[in-house]
Structure 1
C-alpha cells in the first residue's frame, strides 16, 4: 500500500524512507539528542570536577560507544564483555569503571588484568580482593544506602532489600577487611535506582554517602550513579537536572571542605543519555477488530522491546504514515506467541495494515535487552549523525539463529 509522504523526520531524515532503506523493524538513534543530554549534565555540574561515565548496559552498540567517547566522557560497564567492547571503541582502561554484581571472582580478576578500575558491591568479593591484591591495586566500593527511591520497585536498587551494594550498616565489617589487607579504597559509589524525579532523594543519598566517606582517607572520587528520570509522555515529571546539579554541587563542596581536599564528583547516566534518542520503527501486519477491542498487530514484539511487558513501561506510539487520519483507540500488540502488548487503549490516527508506527523513547534497554525468542531475528540499528543515516548493526538472519547451535545426528 502506498502512503502519502509525511514529514515525520529525525534530523531532517524521513523515517518512512528509513524503513524502506533499512527494513522494518529498525532501531534509529538521534546522535544530536545524545550530545544534548551530555551537555545538559556538563552545564548542571559545571562547578565541580565532574567525570561522566556512560552506563553502557543501556545501549552497548560499539558505534554508540565510539560516539559517546567522542563527546569526551568515560564509561561504566558491568561485565568483561562490555569492558572489551569499550576498549575496542577506544576507551582507555582508566576511563572504564567496572561495577559487576554477584559475579564469580574470576571476572573481577579479568577486570584487574585489563587494567580497569574495580568497583565492588559485596563483602565476599572485597575479602577475596584483599587476599589477592592487598594494597597493590586500589578499589572502590558500591554502598547500599537503604533508601527507597524511583517509581518502580523493579528498577529501584538502593533499598534495604536490594541485592546491590554493601549496606552502609556494615561499615565496621568493611573497615575490618580493609584494615586486615591494607586495601586502598579510592572511591565510594551509590546508585539508588532509575526514574527518580525528586531532588530530595538524591540529596538524602548524598548525605548518607558523605557520612560514610569520612572513614576512608584515600578517596579520589565519589560516584552518585544516576537514575535521572526522562519524560515518556506529555506532562511526565522529570528530574530537574539544573536544580539537582546546583544542590548536589553545593553539598559536595561542603563535604570536600570537611574532608580536607577536593575530590572528583562522578555520575553514571545511561537511560538519561540515550533513551530519548531512540525510536523503534515497525510496520502494522494486521488490524483485528473484536466486539470490544481493535488490535493493531505489528512486525515486532517483546523480543525486540521487552520494557512494556517487563516493567509496565510506557512508550509513546505515533502513526507516522497516517498522521491526519481520524483518531481511534487501539491495543498495539506484537507477533510473539505470548501476551505481548506494547500499549493498551492508545488513541492513534487511524491504523491501516502496512502503516509505519514509531515507538518513542526506545534508545535505552531496547535493543540491549532484545532476544531471539520464538527464533526470530533481531532488528537493524541506525545512527543519525549530522543528518546522515548510518547502519550500525545489520539485521539478523536465519543463519544467525543457527550460528552457535550444534546439530547432531539423532
Structure 2
C-alpha cells in the first residue's frame, strides 16, 4: 500500500525565515511539519511491501511535545530511552503499547516505572533481565542484541560493535535462555541498533541475518525491531541511505524468515534523525566579524550550548547567509559566543557576511535543541513550528527566572 502526501508545498524560504527572526528573535529553531510528514510517508512507502510494519519515531532526536503529537496523529509509534520520554509520549497521546522503552544502564526502579505505565520494554543487560524475570515473569519483554557490527558515521555514534555498552552479545544467547528457563519470563521480540548515519546497507543486512538466526530459536515472538541509523544528506550531493534498495533486500529476507518461522510477525523500524533532521533550521544573528592574521571569524549569538553536534561529533551542517543570498562568496570560520573552542563551521565558503546578518544552519531538526544546555548560563532558544502554512511558537525562550527556578539559596 502506497501512502499519499497532501500537495502542500512548504512555504519555508529565505524571506520567510528572516521574517520569523524579526517576529521571534534569535537564536531560533524552526521546524517544518510538511517535511516531517514527507519523511514519515517516504519511510512508510519504502517498506510498504511488508505486511505488518510499524514505524516508531526515535524521540530522543527531538522531544518537543508538539512534534510528538504531530507524529502520533500521522500514525507513528514511539521509541523511547528514558522514563521521562515515556511520560512525554503518554502526554502526547500515544497508547502505551505503541511506545517501546529501550533503556541502557538504568536501574530496575526505572524499568519498574515503565511496567506501571504499561509500555513495551526492550532489555539489554543480563543482570536486569534476570531481576525483571523475578519481579515480572508474566510481563513479556524484548531483548536488545549486540550484533558485533561496527557501523555509523562516527565512532561516538557506533553502538553495535563488540566493545559497545549497548545490547546483549548474540554470543550470550545461552545465558538468555537460562534466565528465561529459571524465571519463566516470556520474550516477545528482538531488537538491534548498530549506529547512526549508516549509508552502507550491508550493515543493516548483516544485522538482519543475525537477528533472524537468533529469533528462530524463540517461538511465539511478536516482533523484530531493526532500530534505525539511516543517513540523511547534510550537504549538496551528499550520500544517504538508499531506502528502496534496503527495502528490496529486507522485504525478501523478512518474508523468507516468516515462512521458515511459521508465523507472520511484525517488523519495526525506529527512525529519528531521518524523520526530523531536514525539517529543522537554526537561525542565528551575526554579532561580529573578526579578522586575525590568518582567519576571518563570523561570531554569532549562539554556541555549542544550543547546537553541539559540530563540536561533539565533528558533524557538518550547511551554513547560509540568508540576509545576503546574492553576495560574493568568501571563506569564514563561523563561531559562537561560548567561552570555549566553539565552532559551527571551519573555513566555510559563505555569501559575504556582515554584522547583523542572519545565518541559517540547516539539518537542525534532530539532536540539536534536544542536546542543548545552559552552559555559560546562557538561555536556551525559542522553537517555532510551521503547521498548515502558519508559524506557531512551541517553546518560549528561557529567561533568568528559568535559570534560577530550582536554585535554593542558603546564604
Q: Same fold (TM over 0.5)?
A: yes
Equivalent residue runs for 1:211-250 within 5 Å: 211-250=213-252
Equivalent residue runs for 1:237-386 within 5 Å: 237-386=239-388
Q: CA deviation at 1:263?
A: 0.5
Work out the CA distance in 2 between the residues paired with 1:129 and 1:13: 55
Work out the CA distance in 2 between the residues paired with 1:247 and 1:364: 28
User: Counterpart in 2 of 1:131?
Assistant: 134
Runs of 4+ in structure 1 off by over 2 angstroms are none
The 8 Å contact of residues 9 and 15 in structure 1, kept in 2 or not, is answered as no
Q: CA deviation at 1:190?
A: 0.3
5+ residue gaps, structure 1, are: 1-7
Work out the CA distance in 2 between the residues paired with 1:222 and 1:235: 33
Per-residue CA shift, 1:254-279, capped at 9, x if unaligned?
00001001000000000000000001
User: Counterpart in 2 of 1:3?
Assistant: none
User: Counterpart in 2 of 1:99?
Assistant: 102
5+ residue gaps, structure 2, are: 1-9
Equivalent residue runs for 1:80-95 within 5 Å: 80-95=83-98
Q: CA deviation at 1:235?
A: 2.0
Q: 1:79 to 1:13 in 2, by over 3 A?
A: farther
Equivalent residue runs for 1:17-28 within 5 Å: 17-28=19-30
Work out the CA distance in 1 between the residues paired with 2:116 and 2:34: 36
Work out the CA distance in 1 between the residues paired with 2:229 and 2:73: 23
Per-residue CA shift, 1:109-137, capped at 9, x if unaligned?
00000101111011011000001111x11
Work out the CA distance in 2 between the residues paired with 1:101 and 1:190: 13
User: Counterpart in 2 of 1:57?
Assistant: 60
Match for residue 194 of structure 1 among 189, 193, 196: 196
Work out the CA distance in 2 between the residues paired with 1:160 and 1:213: 20
Work out the CA distance in 2 between the residues paired with 1:34 and 1:100: 25
Work out the CA distance in 1 between the residues paired with 2:126 and 2:309: 32
The 8 Å contact of residues 13 and 387 in structure 1, kept in 2 or not, is answered as no
Work out the CA distance in 1 between the residues paired with 2:356 and 2:181: 66
User: Counterpart in 2 of 1:44?
Assistant: 46
Work out the CA distance in 1 between the residues paired with 2:72 and 2:328: 44
Work out the CA distance in 1 between the residues paired with 2:409 and 2:16: 43
| Partner SS state of residue 14, structure 1 | helix
Q: 1:13 to 1:352 in 2, by over 3 A?
A: closer
Work out the CA distance in 2 between the residues paired with 1:19 and 1:357: 11
RMSD between aligned residues: 1.1
The 8 Å contact of residues 28 and 280 in structure 1, kept in 2 or not, is answered as yes
Work out the CA distance in 1 between the residues paired with 2:334 and 2:410: 40
Work out the CA distance in 2 between the residues paired with 1:273 and 1:404: 34
TM-score (norm 2): 0.96
| Partner SS state of residue 127, structure 2 | helix
TM-score (norm 1): 0.96
Q: CA deviation at 1:12?
A: 8.8
Work out the CA distance in 1 between the residues paired with 2:241 and 2:329: 32
Work out the CA distance in 1 between the residues paired with 2:91 and 2:394: 15
* Structure 2 residue 136 is matched with structure 1 residue 122: no
Work out the CA distance in 2 between the residues paired with 1:207 and 1:11: 44
Match for residue 405 of structure 1 among 400, 404, 407: 407
Per-residue CA shift, 1:186-243, capped at 9, x if unaligned?
0100001001101111111100110100111120000000000000011211000111
Aligned length: 401
| Partner SS state of residue 120, structure 2 | coil
Per-residue CA shift, 1:58-111, capped at 9, x if unaligned?
000000100111111100111111111110010111110001100011000000
